[in-house]
Amino acid sequence: MKKIFKYLFGILGLILILILLMSVFHICPPAGPWPTPPWCGSKSFEKRLYRMDVKAEKLDQVKSVNMSDTWGRNYNMSMVETTRANIKSSFDRVRDIGAKEVFVHDFSRAVYKGDTDFKSLNYKIVNETFWNDFRDESMSKRDLSTLAKEAHERGLLLGIKHNMSFVDIGKYIKEGISGNGDIDKSVAKDRDAFNESHTKEWIEDYFSKWQSRMIERATMYQKAGVDIMSISPSFMPPSFAHNEELSNTLYKNLISEVRKVFKGKIYAEVDLYGLLDGNNRDEDWNKYDFYKDADIKEVRIYNLPTKYQTKDSVDREKIKIAIEKLVKDLDAKAGEKGIRLSIFFAPSSYENAINLGPVEVLDKNNEKIKNLKVDFDGQANSFQYMLESLKNTKNIERINVGNFAWDDALDGDVAPRISINATFRNKPAEELIKTWFSK
């Protein structure tokens, strides 16, 4: 009996030590049936007010807001914040902006048997977990039900997009913390290596696994009341160069099979360069038409494509003309393809970001990131020019503005440089978009 009590006291002592350590270092457990520690609640940041003289007109397009592509705890690298605590407050803001749809991101990852080998078929597509990299995770059934309920109560349709990774994201997080790397370069290097060469066998195997994953998630989405789901992997999408006809057929089959279990709208991404130029590097997008089987066809724009860029110029008139030309060309290309197009637009808020594109703000110790100058006006102007350009289009049916952060944190509140990020929450662009969307 004494031994039993000894073991019990030992276990209780260990639990108390763990709780003490969690309290001191503000470590938060994953979501579960256990209570959430008081230091893991939502943190409030100052909401800034901006006075803007915005010239806006009524738009015919569907108006959507894309939440930042993160889910779960530690999205600002503080260990205490969680998207789950900020669903209501964030969706309140999305509703108040005047949007009719809100998109959030679910997560999946490839787990290899042995070392990561991009040519190997020996991997599974599984849930992303918090413990893998102490950050993004897959959505649970409870998460999905809560998101759908809160969206619908505010008159919003809920869309789910997918982040898919074939590498361990944790290594990028470590680079950002250590300051010894360059996350943007590392990600680009891995993406290039991943898409270096996909064989017919690899592509068929991938689609088999991705289709199983999509049907599994689609079943959950349908039960939770999700309105829109993507079948396109983002962050690390495979290229199917030299096997486009095969991939087109497999994509069509994927959409068909998902429709059997999901009754909402299906979203497919159309490559921006593929639509404008007919190809993205070696991948021939003229051989694709699978996206026509989807209900929503969207291009993603973070910055001006190469041929539209104004080089090093931040001249407002030049940028306005460039964005107008880009939208005009997209409208014409959509007309040629016989589709109605959705535009996702998420410019960053640092100087010349409309030409240079987004940067990895988690790379907080990188000198390049440290030296970028905040430019809220430049971001707001880019949104203004984009929204103005939509007025006379015939084939653009939706504008999806991104990204909307899960809280009001800016520089100084948290470690990452949110003030230069491709987010518009708590920046002048939020008020500008609200003016347009509320017309």
- The mean pLDDT value for 54-65 works out to 96
Domains of the chain by residue range: 1-30, 54-437
Q: Which of 398, 287, 278 is nearest to 329 (CA)?
A: 278
Q: Which of 421, 331, 433, 332 is nearest to 382 (CA)?
A: 433
Q: Is the pLDDT of residue 330 over 90?
A: yes
Q: Residue 206 corresponds to which tokens in the numbers above?
A: 């991938």
Question: What CA–CA distance (Å, rounded) separates 179 from 366?
Answer: 6
Confidence class for position 111, pLDDT limits 50, 70, 90: very high
Q: Is the pLDDT of residue 180 over 70?
A: no
Collapsing DSSP to helix, strand or coil, 373 comes out as coil
Please answer whether residues 339 and 291 qualify as being in contact, where contact means their C-beta atoms are separated by less than 8 angstroms.
yes
- The mean pLDDT value for 417-426 works out to 95
Q: Would strands 396-404 and 62-67 be described as parallel, antiparallel, or unpaired?
A: parallel
Question: What CA–CA distance (Å, rounded) separates 69 from 403?
Answer: 8
- The mean pLDDT value for 214-235 works out to 97
Looking at per-residue confidence, does 78 or 406 come out higher? 406
pLDDT digits (tens, 9 = 90+) for 33-50: 455 554 455 556 888 888
Instruction: Please identify, in words, the CATH class of the domain defined by 54-437.
Output: alpha beta
Could you tell me what percent of the chain has a pLDDT over 70? 87
Question: What CA–CA distance (Å, rounded) separates 197 from 112?
Answer: 18
Question: What CA–CA distance (Å, rounded) separates 334 from 347?
Answer: 22
Q: Is the pLDDT of residue 88 over 60?
A: yes
Q: Is the pLDDT of residue 314 over 90?
A: no
Q: What angle do helix axes 376-389 and 428-437 make, rounded to 10 degrees?
A: 20
Helices (H), 56-157: 87-97, 130-133, 141-153
Q: What DSSP line would sit under 254-315, residue for residue?
A: HHHHHHTT--SEEEEE--HHHHHHSEETTEEGGG--GGGGSSEEEEEESS--GGG--TT---
Question: What CA–CA distance (Å, rounded) separates 135 from 68?
Answer: 13
**Cα separation values, 181 from 134, 366, 367, Å:** 19, 7, 10
pLDDT digits (tens, 9 = 90+) for 339-348: 999 999 999 9
Residue type, 102: V
Question: What CA–CA distance (Å, rounded) separates 322 from 164?
Answer: 32
pLDDT computed for residue 15 by the predictor? 67
Computed over its alpha carbons, how large is the radius of gyration of the chain? 22
* pTM for this predicted structure: 0.89
Confidence class for position 411, pLDDT limits 50, 70, 90: confident
Look over the chain and give the mean of its residue pLDDT values, rounded to a whole number: 90
Q: Is the pLDDT of residue 31 over 60?
A: no
